[in-house]
């Protein structure tokens, strides 16, 4: 990436295990077998951009499990939301859910998770990358999007471009009610549907009245939940399109909640679908974290999502 007087840059000193660039996601291409990508925790990503006055869809960094170190080549204003990954600015702690200034030559470092799994780092005006199929959302499995356009996570010595800007901090503060306690058990709203009627009554009772634990097999594609075995009368079914949050139950009876980088079709029976905000909460759960599934009506889920989206401006990009 060449130098541009209209751009500022952050240099990657250490990339961490998985740091990617994510806008709101890639939509309108699922018929091609291409999934949506986008932030695993839509909630934290959105509030990070909001703090800086960035419109919906502005690209930000998703930092998974910490380990990232950046050096500022120009002054910039940043916002950090989501997981507490022990962020420090030249050795001084940086709290989540706030904005801050990073001066030229300063280092921003992320250590190990304190609470939650994924943090979101936004820059005023957004990070700059070339869209692929209408989005810069990074999907490593498909080799699409991200800071270089080829689906790669960040690497050492790369430079992240952003629109050069001046000025100080805004007066915006994320409301206390919008700052989740990631240490608490996760209550996940699920809209029953799809093949829910094929599950035994005992399975349905256990699904919504038993604690689940997040398995170690969890990533941006999906999260396996460990708990009582659920049983469906369906031995096989024709593969169907899979929405964000679909909860499939394979033959072992352990549900899998499918997230942003999921496959586009699947052939296991489904309990239903987690709401977008439930997916966001699940994305912050480490292995072993307790989870409860809570049945909700589609109207209630839609109203909750409308209230959430009403907080954010929309310039028409990547709205989904």
pLDDT at res. 320: 42
pTM of the entire structure? 0.95
Residues 239 and 297 in one domain: yes
Mean pLDDT, the chain, as a whole number?
95
Tell whether the model's pLDDT for residue 316 goes beyond 50.
no
pLDDT at res. 227: 98
The answer to whether residue 231 is domain-embedded is yes
pLDDT at res. 24: 98
Written in H, E and C, the secondary structure of the chain is CCCCCCEEEEEEEEECCEEEEECCCCCCCHHHCCCCCCCCCHHHHHHHHHHCCCCECCCEEEEECCCEEEEECCCEEEEEEEEECCCEECCEECCCCEEEEECCCCEEECCCCCEEEEEEEEECCCECCCCECCECCCECCCCEECCCCECCCCCCCCEEEEECCCCCCCCCCCCHHHCCCCCCCEEEEEEECCCHHHECHHHHHHHHHCCEEEEEEECCCEEEEECCCCCECCCCCCCEECCCCEEECCCCCCCEEECCCCCCEECCCEEEEECHHHHHHHCCCCCCCEEEEEECCHHHHHHHHHHHHCCCCECCCCCC
**Measuring CA to CA, how many Å separate 116 from each of 64, 90, 161, 184, 282?**
9, 23, 27, 10, 10
CATH number, position 304: 2.40.100.10
Residues 161 and 34 in one domain: yes
Tell whether the model's pLDDT for residue 4 goes beyond 80.
no
pLDDT at res. 236: 80
Confidence of residue 167 (pLDDT cuts 50, 70, 90): confident
Residues 16 and 115 in one domain: yes
Residues 144 and 197 in one domain: no
Tell whether the model's pLDDT for residue 264 goes beyond 70.
yes
pLDDT at res. 315: 46
Residues 297 and 239 in one domain: yes
Confidence of residue 317 (pLDDT cuts 50, 70, 90): very low
Q: Which residue has the higher pLDDT, 167 or 18?
A: 18
Q: How many domains in the chain?
A: 2
Residues 162 and 34 in one domain: yes
Confidence of residue 168 (pLDDT cuts 50, 70, 90): confident
Write the pLDDT tens digit of every residue in 52-105. 999 999 999 999 999 999 999 999 999 999 999 999 999 999 999 999 999 999
Range of the domain at 49: 7-167
pLDDT at res. 210: 97
Write the pLDDT tens digit of every residue in 271-315. 999 999 999 999 999 999 999 999 999 999 999 999 999 999 764
């Amino acid at each position: 990436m060449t130098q541009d007087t209209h751009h500022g840059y952050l240099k990657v000193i250490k990339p961490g295990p998985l740091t990617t660039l994510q806008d709101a996601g890639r939509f309108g291409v699922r018929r091609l077998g291409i999934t949506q990508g986008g932030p695993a925790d839509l909630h934290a990503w959105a509030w990070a951009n909001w703090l800086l006055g960035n419109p919906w869809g502005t690209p930000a960094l998703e930092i998974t499990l910490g380990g990232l170190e950046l050096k500022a080549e120009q002054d910039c204003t940043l916002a950090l939301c989501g997981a507490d990954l022990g962020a420090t600015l030249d050795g001084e702690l940086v709290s989540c859910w706030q904005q801050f200034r990073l001066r030229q030559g300063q280092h921003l470092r992320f250590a190990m998770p304190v609470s939650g799994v994924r943090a979101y780092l936004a820059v005023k005006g957004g990070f700059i990358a070339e869209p692929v199929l209408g989005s810069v959302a990074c999907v490593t499995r498909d080799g699409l999007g991200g800071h270089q356009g080829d689906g790669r996570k960040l690497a050492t010595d790369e430079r992240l471009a952003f629109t050069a800007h001046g000025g100080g901090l805004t007066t915006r503060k994320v409301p206390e009610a919008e700052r989740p306690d990631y240490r608490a058990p996760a209550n996940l709203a699920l809209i029953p549907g799809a093949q829910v009627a094929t599950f035994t009554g005992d399975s349905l009772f256990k699904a919504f009245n038993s604690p689940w634990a997040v398995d170690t097999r969890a990533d941006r594609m999906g999260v396996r939940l460990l708990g009582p075995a659920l049983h469906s009368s369906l031995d096989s079914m024709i593969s169907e399109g899979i929405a964000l949050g679909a909860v499939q139950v394979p033959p072992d009876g352990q549900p899998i909640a499918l997230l942003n980088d999921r496959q586009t079709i699947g052939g296991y029976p489904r309990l239903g679908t987690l709401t977008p905000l439930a997916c966001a909460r699940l994305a912050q759960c480490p292995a072993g974290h307790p989870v409860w599934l809570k049945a909700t009506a589609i109207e209630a889920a839609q109203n909750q999502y409308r209230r959430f989206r009403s907080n954010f401006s929309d310039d028409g990009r990547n709205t989904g």
